[in-house]
């Protein structure tokens, strides 16, 4: 994407999935090949070798449910934290701005795995919480910092004339932000939020170290009982890949509809 002021091409690389768009025929073709190949393997392997592939598929569905529960709860809380952080990053209040900026700088400088250990084990000495609650808090706390930058960029992308027009109509600054700026910024914010959703879903594999029975944890349990490590982790990888491919396509469709709506 070219910078409006300098004309320099920006390189945007996220932690989420590669989003297939019609303009990128190579990526779109690769998406279809990956999707068909993944679905094909998930069907063929259990048919050709029911033991252990079919047994694995019967063993992990509850882990898939837990993975989505953690992901949805974490992203919902991260959105709230991100909105507050984003508003703090653009605030004229120096204390609020510094606090939000410090949070972003510190959290983004610490690996997510370390944050999971810290909240569950280190802080667990003082306040013990259930493993799944600790996982959601850690994921939301980490991704809230990234969401804060997404909200900040989305809000800053709205022309300042919109704020001036709202203030001239008698709205105060809070009303201007709530009813004027955020609804417009949301169209810009939504696609990267979707990408962060996919990145967070993949990162939920880390919560298995806290004994949360997600997809990976269930796979590890099956592998430790059957010693079929190759088969188990092959199926786990295929399940994650299928979920990611489907979600990336949904985000691509959403982005296309949003861009079509903006052109109208």
Q: Report pLDDT digits (tens) over 168-215.
A: 777 777 777 777 788 788 878 888 888 899 999 999 999 988 888 899
Q: Residue 3 falls within a domain, yes or no? A: no
Domain count, the chain: 1
Report the Cα–Cα distance between both ends of the chain, in Å, rounded: 21
pLDDT of residue 264: 56
How far is 229 from 116, CA to CA, in rounded Å?
Answer: 25
Task: Classify residue 107: in a domain, yes or no.
Answer: yes
Predicted pLDDT of residue 5: 41
The CATH number covering residue 197 comes to 1.10.3720.10
Domain of 195, in residue numbers:
25-263
Which two three-digit tokens encode residue 147? 């969401």
Does residue 195 fall inside a structural domain? yes
Computed from CA positions of residues 245, 251, 252, 253, in that sequence, does the dihedral angle turn out positive or negative? Answer: positive
Q: What is the pLDDT along the chain (264 residues), one digit of tens a residue?
A: 444 344 433 444 455 566 776 677 788 888 899 999 999 999 999 999 998 999 999 999 999 999 999 999 999 999 999 999 999 998 888 999 999 999 999 999 999 999 999 998 888 888 888 889 999 999 999 999 999 999 998 888 888 777 777 777 777 777 777 777 887 888 788 888 888 999 999 999 999 888 888 999 999 999 999 899 999 999 999 999 999 999 988 888 887 777 665 555
Identify the bridge partners of residue 2 per DSSP, sorted by sequence position.
9
Three-class secondary structure of residue 255 per DSSP: helix
Tell whether 77 is covered by a domain. yes
Within a domain: 11 = no
List all residues 6 or more positions away from 124 whose beta carbon is below 8 Å from its beta carbon.
134
Within-domain flag for 7? no
Establish if 243 belongs to a structural domain: yes
Residue 252 in domain: yes
pLDDT at 16: 58
Phi, psi of 78 (to 5 degrees): -65, -35
């Amino acid at each position: 994407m070219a910078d409006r002021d300098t004309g320099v091409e920006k390189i945007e690389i996220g932690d989420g999935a590669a989003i297939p768009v019609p303009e990128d025929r190579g990526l779109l073709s690769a998406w279809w090949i990956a999707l068909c190949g993944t679905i094909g393997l998930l069907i063929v392997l259990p048919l050709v070798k029911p033991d252990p592939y079919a047994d694995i598929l019967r063993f992990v569905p509850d882990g898939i449910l837990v993975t989505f529960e953690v992901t949805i709860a974490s992203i919902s809380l991260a959105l709230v934290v991100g909105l507050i952080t984003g508003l703090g990053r653009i605030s004229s209040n120096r204390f609020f701005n510094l606090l939000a900026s410090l949070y972003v700088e510190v959290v983004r400088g610490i690996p997510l795995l370390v944050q999971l250990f810290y909240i569950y084990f280190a802080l667990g000495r003082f306040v013990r919480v259930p493993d799944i609650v600790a996982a959601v808090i850690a994921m939301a706390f980490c991704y809230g910092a990234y969401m804060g930058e997404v909200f900040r960029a989305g809000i800053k992308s709205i022309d300042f004339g919109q704020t001036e027009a709202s203030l001239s109509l008698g709205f105060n600054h809070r009303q201007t932000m709530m009813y004027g700026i955020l609804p417009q910024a949301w169209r810009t914010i939504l696609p990267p939020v979707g990408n962060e959703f996919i990145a967070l879903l993949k990162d939920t594999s880390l919560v298995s170290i806290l004994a949360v029975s997600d997809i990976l944890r269930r796979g590890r349990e099956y592998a430790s009982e059957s010693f079929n490590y190759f088969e188990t982790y092959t199926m786990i990888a295929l399940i994650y890949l299928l979920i990611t491919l489907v979600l990336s396509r949904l985000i691509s469709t959403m982005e296309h509809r949003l861009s079509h709506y903006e052109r109208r």
